[in-house]
Structure formats: C-alpha cells, structure tokens
C-alpha cells in the first residue's frame, strides 16, 4: 500500500528501538540500544536530544509527570525527567552478562511486560517477564529474540513473539493484572515469509501493527489474525511502531542499521532514522506504569 512517509528524526541509530510517546509534553522518546542512548524529540519539530546512559536500555514507561521507568540490561531504573538522574528500582538479570533488555510494553492496567535476549542473539538466552506494583515474575523462558509485546484495548489479550520462530502468539490475560490466564496460541504464522516479526502495537479497534525487520514493511492484522495491509517504509530494518500525537492518530516508526555491511548501508541510506507515516490511525495513548 502506498503511504507517504517522512523522516521525523535525521539522527541515525545503530539499533533504534522502543518508541514511546508522552502526551503531556508532546514528545517522542526512543533508544539506540547498543549505543546506550535515550533520544527525544518534540512532535512539533526541533532538534533530537540525545541522553547518554550508563547501560543499554530498550524501552520506557511513563510513571508520572516527573518520572519514567527505563528497562535496561541491569534492571528497571527510575529516571527523573528534569535532571536525567537514574535510580535503580529493581534488578533484572543484572548478574547475567550475556543478556540485555529488548521489546517491552505497558499493559492497560499498568503492568509492564519486559522482554530480554542475548546481546548476540544467543539461542534461548532471553525471557519475558511481568512487573506490577513492585512484583516481578518470569512468564516465558527460553526466548531467543523477544518482540511484538502488545495488548488489546481491553487488556484481555496479550501478543508476543520470538522473532527466530516466526510465529506471532496471542494469549488470554486478566485485564486487572495483565497476567496470562491461558496458554499461547498462534495468532499469525510468518514462517517462510520475507523478513522477521519485530515490534508491534495495537490500536483502539484491536488492529495490530507490526514492523517487519529485514523487509522494510509495516503490516497490520485484524483481531482474527488476518493481514489487512502492508506499508513500505524507506529503511530495510524497521523495528517498532508507536502511536503519536495528542489523539494518538499518527504512526512513528524506528529503524536500525545493525548487522549491515558497507554495501548494504550504502543502498539503505535511511537506515537508523525515525519516520512518521502519513497514515490516519485510531491509536491509543500508552498507559502509565503502576510502580
């Protein structure tokens, strides 16, 4: 499907990930994971601001007007939005030098599903965790590349994938806690398809939007798992979409150049930039994290 796409941020990330929109400040936040940077830019324009971090981080949740909860290779850190100061809130795989955090998202009730993976995509090194009001539990072990963590608007369904398996799963959840209440079932079988399933988000109508790494595409899926449309983006490795704007009616997409050789980067000059799609969507604002 032909959709207009413009560059939102010219800043090039080796591994751009974890876009999160803050409606209070009309700002998009995202990460360059391997560079240890948190990036931000107001939706109305202006320069991209880069914050150096002492750890690899991949996702954030909004706590309140003054704090964010960052998901990092060492655990969950509270970040003061004014000073940038980080305070360890809870360790997570802090003693495991092999792994880092990856795709993560806040459930409508405020629970945080957190994915980890090996820094070199070591087989079965990662997991998916649940955090809610000070409690941390492991949900799914033996994950190689955790991705596509997102939730239905009512909180009754969660989605996730291990990118290396090519299967997008759905699972019933308790809307009040975000905990699984059943067993994972295949939502979409991408095995043998072009590219790999990366980050996802679900809009107000229950449509799931997925970034297809290695294919330069954004796909949307109905709540029944039917692919509805496919949109091209000007980077081979899109990583994750996010709803942006005060009405959550636009779609931003991060991307990466990680793993590309010199010739591939030459042919993909937009790799690592962050884009804004000229596509009206009925999105949802991200819920706040329940500490």
Radius of gyration of the chain (CA): 17
Rounded-to-integer distance, Cα 102 and Cα 263, Å: 27
Count CA atoms within 13 Å of residue 65 on its CB side: 2
- H or E segment and range at residue 263: helix 262-267
| Nearest in space to 208 (alpha carbons), one of 221, 197, 195, 191 | 221
Rounded-to-integer distance, Cα 54 and Cα 101, Å: 14
| Nearest in space to 275 (alpha carbons), one of 227, 216, 230, 224 | 216
Rounded-to-integer distance, Cα 14 and Cα 277, Å: 21
Tell me the catalytic residues: 198
């Amino acid at each position: 499907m032909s959709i207009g796409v413009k560059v939102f941020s010219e800043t090039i990330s080796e591994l751009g990930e974890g876009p999160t929109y803050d409606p209070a400040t009309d700002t998009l936040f995202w990460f360059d994971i391997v560079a240890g940077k948190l990036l931000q830019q107001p939706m109305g324009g202006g320069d991209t601001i880069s914050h150096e971090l002492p750890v690899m981080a991949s996702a954030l949740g909004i706590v309140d007007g003054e704090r964010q909860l960052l998901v990092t290779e060492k655990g969950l850190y509270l970040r003061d939005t004014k000073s940038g100061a980080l305070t360890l809130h809870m360790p997570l795989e802090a003693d495991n030098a092999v792994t880092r955090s990856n795709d993560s998202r806040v459930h409508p009730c405020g629970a945080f599903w957190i994915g980890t993976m090996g820094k070199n995509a070591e087989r079965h090194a990662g997991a998916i965790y649940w955090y809610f009001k000070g409690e941390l539990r492991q949900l799914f072990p033996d994950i190689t590349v955790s991705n596509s963590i997102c939730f239905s608007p009512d909180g009754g369904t969660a989605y996730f994938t291990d990118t290396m398996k090519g299967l997008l799963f759905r699972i019933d959840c308790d809307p009040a806690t975000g905990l699984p209440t059943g067993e994972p079932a295949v939502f979409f079988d991408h095995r043998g398809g072009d590219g790999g399933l990366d980050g996802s988000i679900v809009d107000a109508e229950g449509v799931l939007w997925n970034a297809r790494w290695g294919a330069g595409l954004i796909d949307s899926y109905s709540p029944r798992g039917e692919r509805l449309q496919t949109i091209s983006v000007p980077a081979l490795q899109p990583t994750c979409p996010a709803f942006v704007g005060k009405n959550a009616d636009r779609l931003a997409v991060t991307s990466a150049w990680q793993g590309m050789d010199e010739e591939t980067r030459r042919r993909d000059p937009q790799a690592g930039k962050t884009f804004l799609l000229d596509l009206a969507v009925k999105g949802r604002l991200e819920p706040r994290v329940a500490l």
